[in-house]
Structure 1
Amino acid sequence: MGSKPSTPRAKQNANRPTSTVDVKNDKNKNSKGQGSEKASSDGPKDVMISYSHQDKEIMAKLRERLEDNGITVWVDVAGLQAGVDFLGKIGQAILDAKLFISLLSTSSVKSKYCQDEVALAYVSQKAIFPFAIHSQQEVYGCMGTGMKLQLSGIEWTFSLQSETFEDDFAELLSRLKVELEAQKADEKTDVSAKPFISRQSSKTQKKKDPKVKEDAEDFWKKQYNKQDMVAWERFKEDFSKYFQEQIANLFTETEEFDFLWTNLREELELLNDEDSVDMLLKNNLIGFTTRYGDTLSLWESTEVFVKEMFAIHEVFGMDSSVRVQAIDHLGQFQSPRVIESLRDLLYSEDPNVRAVASVSLAKTGNSDKSTIKRLMKSLNDKDRLVREAACLALGHIKAKEAVPTLLRIWRNDFISHVREAAKAALELIGGEEVEQAMHITKVLADEIRLLTQEN
């Protein structure tokens, strides 16, 4: 994949320290005064810079030039403590910043922090600006498939020699300012962003190949004529052969294509409205390309889906450094695979993850039986924030099945915030049952209060 021109409004990100040792080293050096006066980075900034500790000199130069030009910058030079505080601030800085600069080097792209930050920037729809200090060939040689996919189609700025830095920086600065102005204009006119998935069409394939633009219905007609369903294994074989060149460009290892196939099959099976074991339905394949508002070609839909799955795999991982921050932004996806992943996160050992997953599920708007059933189980969670989030999520999706349980919680939960959340949920759901039950409860409460006063 080569460097491709594109609008700056893409999405993706790179990284920061290569280990917790790097964080501590930064802290020790900053305590001696190195950069500490600029390290107070609390609050939203124009730009967040992600980098490896080994590239800190270039990062400092880049930051200084940005600030000289009136652009506020968040970067970890304060030596934030490793652990929850460190990870939380890094993740929040990405979410708060208007733009994201990924300082790409052979060191940064191998960092787990970098990979997590790229994934978080991707799922949170940040405008991402890769600034490479090593050649694209060198960087790609060290970069995993997930990051390659997430940075594909985005214009890179290269600064390979110190004597050209100012010219290279001027190019980056120009693009940053264009994006900042565009975001200001959007804020003034209240322009809503298009759905995330619809803006992810690939710029990495050879557009001369008509297969890339072929829609799912035409593909199906060529392969299966008038059949309504086909065996999964046959579809996999036909798909692999038909898009052989595109697959070779996208994946470098067999297990990566296996990753695609496992997730793609699960995605398409989740679209099933009927029992069709080991069969792919024609309507499911077509639905896979049209469910995001825009209709993409079959290959474009597949490529977008792969990017999404790699990003989700990064941020959902138990060792992810930005897990909680990322989950909240998954509500924008309408993918059944994402929704199922959010349901699974309701069983996470981390109560923060469980609570955020409930809120994110509500944001997807999904209200099928499985979602409601799992959210209702969360109403009995031992953590009060999880119970509170589950109440509000059920109210948001207007889950009438939850009314009796929500009424019980409203009347009996020992935490006032949970009772208030249950009440808010009931009011959102509405209906005769809710109105009658709430009326009776209020009347009884008033009567009890009067008896108490009389005594």
Structure 2
Amino acid sequence: MYREFKRLSLQSRENSQSTGSQSGLQDRLEDRNERPKPQLAHRSSQGPKDLMISYSHADREMMMRIKDKLESSGISVWVDISSLRAGADFLSKIGQAIIDAKNVICLLSKTSVISKFCRDELALGYISNCAIFPVSLDTEETLYPLMDTGMKLQLASYSWLMVNDPNKMDAVLDELVVLLKEQLKRNEEEMDGNVEPSVKIVPKLQRLTSRQNLNKHRMKQAEDDKTLSIMPEKYWNDHYTSDTTQWKKFVNDFMYLYKSHLETTYTAADQIWLMSILRREMEVNDDDPILKKENFLAFCRLDGEEFPLWTRVQDQALESLSMKGVFDMNSSVRVEAIENLGKYRSPAVVRALHDLLTDPDANVRAVAAVSLARTNASDKHTISCIMNILNDNDRLVREAGCLALGHLQAKPAVKKLLHMWRNDVISHVRDAAFVALQQIGGAEVEREMHVTKVLADEIRQLTK
């Protein structure tokens, strides 16, 4: 199951002088009984394909027609045709198929848009940076009211291909083949290094995507509604006369101005949740709920470019809801997401992994620590979050925390790691702390380790 754990463990051994200190880490993790454990073969017995089709089994007939059309055109397809939707083993195959394929067709219908499995698959496809192709059996007007907020946002930036008219179906499927072949060609060019992966454009589907910035998705906007294009400086100057404002006032002003747009997409509960996300992103202190202009403007800026307030809010909601959907305790693709998304460094993924460090499942906490290490996110907050799990009651979580901090060469953790090396009751944790200290290095580490070894030698002399 935990390939990230194994890779980090091997790298720790290779980068240190310690031998055997991490041997058995994979075995110890796989000995756990807390959850079913998919094996490496779960990358799908069908093998990686060009694309994956997400659909409801009520729409099996249409799925088969699309599948046959694509395969006859030379496009390989991964699809669940067993009519089984239960069990960690099977769901793992679906999640891995999405991540492997990089392209996902979402077959939309009245049944699929209310299916938890289809929603989870779309969310994983989105945050895994897949190119998504919505193919619909019904009109947007029919399906939109049935969708939850996350699905509405995830599909808002795409033009749908409609297969609800039998007289036009062949032409639509021909168009789908053309679009997919263009995307597959671009995928190959990215792998060969001939194009810049952060500027992937799917013709007609109107999606800009970046593995480094998963939140750079532009929502379709009504051109005649100028409130959607208000730039942050103008918004602030129109509402406030100083460089600070009460958070409550900002919330009231924002919800009044964008009332109709919020009600179109977000439930009342989602609106409250959205405000809590914005409060976090705009760095409003709980003890002193004041919004600073500089933090507001920083939120609306991405990679040095300033965007309209509504655009950034939609981006943030889309990013956060997708992460929330994938990493939810009941998500059908959660395990595969945890295993794979550590390799993608983006603010959204890093924040999601921060949250998983406090997950009730010890295995999830351990893998979240290793995944954070694989992102190489060595900022102060990440280091602090990983250091917190060094006090975890579970020995494997502590071991993972040590390995992660060593991989990140986290100097602020030296004192704590020295304490664990000398005092942790579990030998594997002490070994992991030792490996981490060797990876971090430095005068303080050398001095303290030398003193400890000298003292240990003197103590042993007393026993002779």
Q: Pick from 332, 335, 339: which aligns with 1:321?
A: 332
Q: CA deviation at 1:105?
A: 0.8
Aligned position for 2:102: 98
Identity score, percent: 43
1:332 aligns with 2:345: yes
Amino acid at match of 1:64: D
- Separation in structure 1 between the aligned mates of residue 216 and residue 252 of structure 2, nearest angstrom: 29
1:99–1:439 distance in 2 versus 1, CA, 3 Å: farther
Conserved in 2, the CA contact under 8 Å of 1:197 and 1:304? no
SS for the counterpart of 1:241 is: helix
Which residue of the partner structure matches residue 130 of structure 1? 134
Long gaps (5+) in structure 2: 1-43, 199-209
Q: Please give the residue correspondences for 1:5-84 in structure 2 after superposition, counting only pairs within 5 Å.
A: 41-78=45-82, 82-84=86-88
5 Å matches for 1:178-217?
A: 178-189=182-193, 191-193=196-198, 194=210, 195-197=212-214, 199-202=216-219, 204-217=220-233
Matched, 1:257 2:271: yes
Aligned mates of 2:429, 2:448 — CA distance in 1: 18
The correspondence of residues 27-426 of structure 1 with structure 2, limited to 5 A, is 41-78=45-82, 82-189=86-193, 191-193=196-198, 194=210, 195-197=212-214, 199-202=216-219, 204-225=220-241, 227-251=242-266, 253-269=267-283, 277-290=288-301, 292=303, 294-327=305-338, 329=341, 332-334=345-347, 342-362=353-373, 363=375, 365=377, 367-368=379-380, 371-381=382-392, 383=394, 385-407=396-418, 421-426=432-437
Task: Return closer, same or farther for 1:60/1:112 CA change in 2, 3 Å cut-off.
Answer: same
| Amino acid corresponding to residue 273 of structure 2 in structure 1 | F
CA distance in 2, matches of 1:297, 1:263: 18
> Quick one: distance in 1 between partners of 2:292 and 2:450?
49
Contact 2:215 2:319 (C-alpha < 8 Å) held by counterparts:
no
Give the Å deviation of 1:310. Answer: 1.7
Q: Which amino acid aligns with 1:310?
A: L
Q: Which amino acid aligns with 2:436?
A: A
Query: Structure 1 residue 84: deviation in Å?
Result: 1.4
- Contact 2:102–2:129 under 8 Å retained in 1: no
How far 1:159 sits from its partner (Å)?
A: 0.8
3-state SS, counterpart of residue 70 of structure 1: coil
Q: CA shift at 1:427, angstroms?
A: 4.2
CA distance in 2, matches of 1:49, 1:184: 20
- 1 CA distance for matches of 2:85 and 2:157? 35
Q: Using the alignment, how far apart are the partners of 1:144 and 1:444 within structure 2?
A: 62
SS at match of 2:47: coil
CA–CA distance in 1 between the matches of 2:274 and 2:455? 58
Number of aligned residue pairs: 403
Q: 1:80 to 1:384 in 2, by over 3 A?
A: farther
Aligned in 2, Cα 1:443/1:46: closer, same or farther, shift over 3 Å? farther
Q: Which deviates more, 343-352 or 180-189?
A: 343-352
- TM-score, normalised to structure 2, is 0.76
Q: Distance in 2 between matches of 1:82 and 1:198?
A: 31
1:116·1:321 contact (CA, 8 Å) conserved in 2? yes
Report the residue type matching 1:206 in the other structure: A
User: Cα 1:416–1:58, aligned 2, differ >3 Å: closer, same or farther?
Assistant: farther
Q: Is the 8 A contact 2:301 2:307 kept in 1?
A: yes
Give, in angstroms, the shift of residue 200 of structure 1: 1.0
Contact 1:324 1:352 (8 Å CA) reproduced: no
Deviation per CA, 1:269-319, whole angstroms, max 9, x where unpaired?
A: 36x5xx861211111111112255543221111010111122122123221
- In 2, Cα distance between equivalents of 1:60 and 1:435: 64
Assess if the C-alpha contact under 8 Å between 2:56 and 2:112 holds in 1: yes
**In structure 2, how many angstroms separate the alpha carbons of the residues matched to 1:324 and 1:179?**
28
How far apart, in 2, do the equivalents of 1:81 and 1:304 lie? 31
The Cα RMSD (Å) is: 3.3
State the distance in 1 between where 2:418 and 2:370 align: 20
Cα shift at 1:428:
4.1
The answer to whether the 8 Å contact 1:231/1:278 transfers is yes
Q: Is the 8 A contact 1:367 1:399 kept in 2?
A: no
3-state SS of 2:300 partner: helix
Letter in 1 for 2:252: E
Q: Distance in 2 between matches of 1:389 and 1:294?
A: 38
| Contact 1:346-1:357 at 8 Å conserved across structures | yes
Q: Shift in Å at residue 265 of structure 1?
A: 1.9
Deviations 1:402-438 (A, max 9, x none): 2234345557878887666545533443321224445
User: 1:5 corresponds to which residue?
Assistant: none
Q: Is the 8 A contact 1:292 1:334 kept in 2?
A: no
Q: Secondary structure of 2:104's partner?
A: strand
1:173/1:82 CA distance change after superposition, 3 Å? same
Q: CA deviation at 1:342?
A: 3.4
